[in-house]
Structure 1
Amino acid sequence: MVGPTAAGKSDLAVELALRLGGEVVNADSMQFYRGMDIGTAKLSPAEMRGVPHHLLDIWDVTRPASVAEFQRLARPILDRLLGEGVVPILAGGSGLYVRAVLDDLEFPGTDPEIRARLEAELERSGPAPLYEQLRGLDPTAAAAILPSNGRRIVRALEVIELSGRPFSATMPSYDAVYDSVQIGLDVPRPVLDERIALRVHRMWESGLVEEVRALAARGLAEGRTASRALGYAQVLRFLSGEWTEEQAMEETIRATRRFARRQESWFRRDPRVTWLPYDAPDLVELAVDRVRTCGS
């Protein structure tokens, strides 16, 4: 179950689980974190309606997220559910995390010394020289990475130096490990923009600022991944006095809309995704029919 944020993936995943005898496996990288509930739109126990959910609230906010670790955690859960005759429903908008479970992706290790040297060069000279270096070493990888994305460029160069192989050899492919039915929720962009704004306002009303304040006391600002989460990063800047609360809210809306566009672009590239209209009156039936047709 994939698609942009605020499309309704979590609710549909629950409906499918109830209809198909399934359980939900979370693939939203920010819902891994304990206490990050309001800002990630994490379902409440009542909203889960008795459907077991896996890989929620597994990490403290100070811990960096790792797609490689998620792959190691998620695949045994899928294997166990399949072995028990239970339908695993992978749900979330973190595209690389979904692909890490479903497809044949490998994640090379890291080297702190190489990483520190490249990050120091990035800090000193910016991404342009490193990007030119990457173009010379691995043109395929360079073509798939934005020249401004210093973090990704550093990672690509680190992998090349560490492994002696092109970074592009480790980039996502469509070589599946599991047979799957992938359903995306299609929401027209103007509608999605409005849904995002409404969601952010509701998060504020539900106590997002208080949630972030409590997490800040537990080290949120030191968490390399959690501190950059949408809503949390903006509220931290409000709490530090850098922004007004209104600025933090408006920036959260803008950043979330940009993120939703990147999510949609990622999932649209995958030809295996069947897109269903988010507001179809028979949405659940359409999704169930798709699963059963492909399953047969």
Structure 2
Amino acid sequence: MARWTAADLPDLTGRVAIVTGANSGLGYRTAEGLARAGASVVLAVRHAGRGAEALARLRAAVPGASAQVRPLDLADLDSVRAFAAATSDDVDLLINNAGIMHVPSRHTTAQGFELQFGTNHLGHFALTGLLLPRLRNRPGARVVTVSSVMHRFGRAAQLDDPQSERSYSATGAYSFSKLANAWFTLELDRRLRAAGAAVLSVGAHPGYTDTNLVTTGPGADGATLWTRVSSAATKVLGQSDRVGALPTLRAAADPAVRGGEYYGPSGPGEYRGHPVRVRYTATGYDETHARRLWDLSERATGVSVP
């Protein structure tokens, strides 16, 4: 079978896509790919200045692109609600891409949630729930939630302490948040199908990709020798962000994709390569854990997904 590339994207003219964390890395490359295929793209970003720079870069790369920047801080549920309230148009594609990784010490969001879980899962859970009525109006709409190979190391036992209040591990909290992405993707798919909705919930992960994710989180307490070594190693060993974004692009637009599927790189360990259908760890498919996460997410965010 031929390798899937961005050239395989169908015509997305007339489709509206929201990409979180679209100012750099995977988010930017995802937005660029969707815009190149004709979609009207909303770059949902935390920093207005960086968003403006990304928009200028996008318009230079894709002349005539339909794109705009809108503020969104997933670590602040007030910002999530404001973003959703200001979304007046229907949405075809919601790409839950933004994230933070391996924060050395325990930090919290505006509402007091552990930063990695609060940003990577709770922020996207609330955003999806609030935008779902906009998605359900569009035939073929999709929600794509980006997980990570690190979800394999997430522990279901952390559902007893999702905010890492009793003990904190930078890697453990990140892995749990990425496992939460898997549970959320699959539980959303089950609920959409049970409701007879046409929206697809699909997962993706980029493998080992050279982005600023490896330094932003670890550098939250200040740059260290480890952040510098990690950055240098990723530049040598990681694949480009353009290739790393391909699983997300395929999950978002390949007509053959079905709800509940998961896409990642084809190479050994799913660290590099072109996108193929892969599988979450067995824990990711546990429906009891997924329902428990869903319930605690509704309580934490105050968002009841219709």
TM-score category of the 2 structures, normalised to the smaller one: 0.3 to 0.5
Q: TM-score, normalised by structure 1?
A: 0.36
Q: TM-score, normalised by structure 2?
A: 0.35
Higher strand share: 2
Relative contact order higher in (CA < 8 Å, ≥ 6 apart): 1
Of structures 1 and 2, the larger Rg is shown by: 1
Higher helix share: 1
